[in-house]
Structure 1
Amino acid sequence: MDLKEIQNLIKFVAKSGASEVKLEMDDVKITIKTGSDERETTILQQMPMQAAPQMQQPVQQQPQAPQQESQPTGGEEKAAGKEDEGYITIKSPIIGTFYRKPSPDKDAFVEVGDSVKVGDVLCVIEAMKLFNEIESEVSGKIVKVLVDDSSPVEFDQPLFLVDPS
């Protein structure tokens, strides 16, 4: 088994999501372990006539969002405590890039002063090449846009202030 075949095996195991794979052949014994917290795969290759060489090959993994202790949401939610003015904060349900317009040559979905009702599209957030429409879960008037167009947003980041009256 040559190095190219071992590298292909590492890639296959990393994509499969398996935590450990053992492969034994006539003159080669390979164990591939992937740790959930580690960002590398360790290979042990033992041959009868040679000392066991140890190689470490990094596994490319997508960074994961930090775990939030707040309760999960299915979309925008009311702020835990209403702000002094009584506005409702609409927050980002996902991590991605915030866009106020459906395309560069179109008008913004909403502007400050616009009235919105439940189900109206407020913006889109691009995540992993998918454009997710963010709909209002409250009725009212847009008081403030809290994020600049084409800027990155985090999960639960405030996007809009809405006056429900």
Structure 2
Amino acid sequence: MDLKEIQNLIKFVAKSGASEVKLEMDDFKITIKTGEEGKGETTILQQVPMMGNTMQQPAMQQQPVAQQVPVQEAEKPKADVSDNYITVKSPIIGTFYRKPAPDKPTFVEVGADIKVGDVLCVIEAMKLFNEIESEVSGKIVKVLVDDSSPVEFDQPLFLVDPS
């Protein structure tokens, strides 16, 4: 189970209203507990030690393959994207929102002119909504993340043309 699947599971449990969910697989256990409103949620992830050398060896063989694939994928966008664009990246882990509220318009659209200090989006982390402000002036070329999607630290969010 990868990080995105765990994050989706946490969101699902939070929306379902369940107070506690336990998931046990062959190699790990996850317990998600949600408290009363405002109390937050607790996620516990335990890695169960594997038995025998035969099960550990395939895990070691998969790691180099996983490392090679992102390197190749990371090189492709650099060739496609103009060097003149500035990438606005996420400063925190959380959930990306393009609007301040569901009934409000988006902060910025593709083609919008922005200046330093303009709010580009909101990232929710631990029930706190953090406004992400632009550190550059320019024009939004592309939005790289879908609304209401989980984002990682340093994940690209927007491409900005500074000219």
Relative to the length of structure 1, the TM-score reads: 0.50
1:15-30 alignment runs, 5 A limit: none
Instruction: Note the 1:127-142 alignment, pairs <5 A.
Output: 127-142=125-140
Higher share of residues assigned helix:
2
Select the structure of larger CA radius of gyration: 1
Choose from 94, 99, 105 the match for 2:92.
Answer: 94
Q: Which runs of 5+ in 2 are unaligned?
A: 1-41, 46-80
Equivalent residue for 1:122?
A: 120
Counterpart position of 2:27:
none
The CA deviation at 1:142 is: 0.2
CA distance in 1, matches of 2:158, 2:87: 6
CA RMSD of aligned residues (A): 1.8
> Helix, strand or coil: the match of 1:86?
coil
Q: How does 1:9-158 map to 2 (within 5 A)?
A: 83-158=81-156
Rounded to whole Å, the distance in 1 between the matches of 2:44 and 2:157 is 25
Specify every segment of 5 or more residues in structure 1 that has no aligned partner in the other structure, as ranges: 1-59, 64-82
**Aligned pair count?**
88
CA, structure 1 residues 159+62, in 2 after alignment: closer, same or farther (shift >3 Å)?
farther
Matches of 2:147 and 2:43, distance apart in 1: 29
- Residues 105-160 of structure 1: per-residue CA shift (max 9 Å, x gap): 00000000000000000000000000000000000000000000000000000000
Q: Residues 61 and 88 of structure 1: is their aligned pair in 2 closer, same or farther, counting only changes over 3 Å?
A: same
2 CA distance for matches of 1:149 and 1:128?
Answer: 18
Q: What is the one-letter code of the residue matched to 1:123?
A: C
**Which residue pairs with 2:55 in the alignment?**
none
User: Identity of paired residues, percent?
Assistant: 83
List structure 1 segments (4+ residues) > 2 angstroms apart after TM superposition.
60-63
> What amino acid sits opposite 1:145 in the alignment?
V
Q: Specify the code of the residue in structure 1 equivalent to 2:130.
A: N
